[in-house]
């Protein structure tokens, strides 16, 4: 186990290095730069002064020099300084936005698991029944409906008929937990809607396969009730592909959080990243991308480690 964790951790650093090079290169392929955005349409200054400002901001440095400086700032913990918000380090803005996205992602994933797993098991146990067809139809809708469309529908009709409106001011959880959850539960449900459909379909498929395995038939032959067979034997053996899916959905949660945060005016990582891209704030975009990549890599590492706990037959030698 220890050797496996060490190997996977080293491989994770390689992945993060590749991500850093890719994000750095893609950002510098965009037209314009942070200085032009900062000056705006009316802030025209002589070309020699613009070159001097670019030198001060480090934009005129060779790309390899900029990359080395940025990596150095990653190791000193600041991730560099924002090119647009003078005096603000990248990590300070990320730590303000990251708790919002993490809370939104946790609410979305928890709601998806609570809805998807029981309905998937129930659909498998009632195969080819009216209930099974209804659950499968619901999962098809969940996979087909875009999150932004569902969010717009809830905002429009919720405002008109239910008196609901997106919050105008963000309230942190530690400041007022009740008010925070009131503004976060609907975005969390929307974020988890499509994930719940995927989990539901995967759960149904794996449980159906496990129901016909020898160990399930042996348990039934010993006189165990079907509910006990499913809970103690079938579900646990069906968890490995399900855990893999849940780990892979972490990337979907981060990408989906962007639209949800914009719709509901939440100051999270998605909104911060979009603003940084629009402003050509290279260090900020690169910092946001690295944090998101590190979280996804960490979740996948935890998923791999959990296999041995779920199924003792899995060995890491």
Residues 96-147 have pLDDT tens digits of: 888 898 888 889 889 988 998 889 888 888 888 899 899 999 889 888 888 8
**According to the model, what pLDDT value does residue 308 have?**
67
Can you list the pairs that 270-276 forms with residues at least 24 positions away whose Cβ atoms lie under 8 Å? 270/101, 271/97, 272/93, 272/94, 272/97, 276/84
Q: What are the DSSP calls for the chain, one per residue?
A: -HHHHHHHHHHHHHHHHHHHHHHHHHHHHSSS-HHHHHH-SS----HHHHHHHHHHHTTTS-HHHHHHHHHHHHHTTS--B-SSSTT-BHHHHHHHHHHHHHHHHHHHHHHHHHHHHHHHHHHHHTTTSHHHHHHHHHHHHHHHS-HHHHHHHHHHHIIIII-----SS---TTT-HHHHHHHHHHHHHHHHHHHHHHHHHHHHHHHHHHHTSHHHHHHHHTT--HHHHIIIIIHHHTHHHHHHHHHHHHHHHHHHHHHHHHHTT--SHHHHHHHHHHTT-HHHHHHHHHHHHHHHHHHHHHHHHHHHHH-TT----
pLDDT at 49: 67
pTM above 0.85, yes or no: no
Q: What is the mean pLDDT of residues 185-198?
A: 87
Place 195 in a pLDDT band, splitting at 50, 70 and 90.
confident
* Tokens representing residue 189 in the block: 């449900």
- CA proximity to 302, closest of 246, 234, 237: 246
170-185 exposure pattern, b = at least 16 Cβ within 10 A, e = fewer = ebeeeeeeeebeebbe
d(CA 81, CA 94): 12
Domains of the chain in start order, with CATH, are 98-268 (1.10.3720.10)
CB 109 within 8 A of CB 192: yes
> Mind listing the pLDDT tens digit for each residue in 155-167?
888 777 777 777 7
Of the ranges 52-66, 114-128, 184-198, 256-270, which one carries the lowest mean pLDDT score? 52-66
């Amino acid at each position: 186990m220890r050797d496996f964790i060490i190997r996977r951790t080293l491989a994770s650093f390689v992945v993060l290095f590749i991500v850093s090079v890719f994000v750095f290169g893609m950002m510098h392929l965009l037209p314009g730069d942070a200085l032009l955005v900062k000056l705006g349409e009316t802030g025209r200054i002589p070309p020699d002064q613009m070159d001097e400002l670019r030198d001060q901001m480090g934009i005129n440095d060779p790309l390899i020099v900029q990359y080395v400086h940025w990596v150095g700032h990653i190791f000193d913990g600041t991730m560099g300084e924002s090119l647009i918000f003078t005096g603000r380090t990248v990590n300070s803005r990320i730590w303000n936005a990251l708790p919002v996205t993490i809370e939104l992602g946790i609410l979305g994933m928890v709601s998806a698991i609570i809805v998807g797993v029981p309905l998937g098991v129930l659909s498998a146990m009632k195969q080819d029944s009216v209930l099974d067809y209804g659950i499968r139809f619901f999962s098809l809708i969940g996979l087909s409906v875009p999150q932004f469309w569902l969010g717009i529908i809830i905002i429009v009709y919720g405002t008109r008929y239910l008196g609901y409106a997106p919050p105008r001011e963000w309230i942190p959880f530690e400041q007022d937990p009740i008010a925070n959850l009131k503004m976060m539960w609907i975005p969390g449900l929307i974020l988890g809607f499509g994930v719940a459909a995927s989990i539901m379909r995967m759960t149904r498929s794996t449980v159906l396969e496990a129901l016909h395995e020898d160990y399930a038939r042996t348990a039934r032959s010993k006189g165990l009730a079907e509910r006990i067979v499913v809970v103690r034997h079938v579900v646990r053996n069906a968890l490995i592909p399900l855990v893999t899916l849940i780990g892979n959905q972490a990337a979907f949660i981060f990408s989906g959080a962007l639209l949800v945060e914009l719709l509901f005016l939440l100051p999270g990582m998605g909104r911060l990243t979009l603003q940084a891209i629009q402003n050509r704030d290279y260090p900020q975009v690169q910092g946001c991308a690295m944090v998101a990549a590190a979280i996804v890599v960490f979740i996948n590492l935890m998923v791999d480690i959990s296999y041995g706990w779920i199924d003792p037959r899995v060995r890491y030698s």
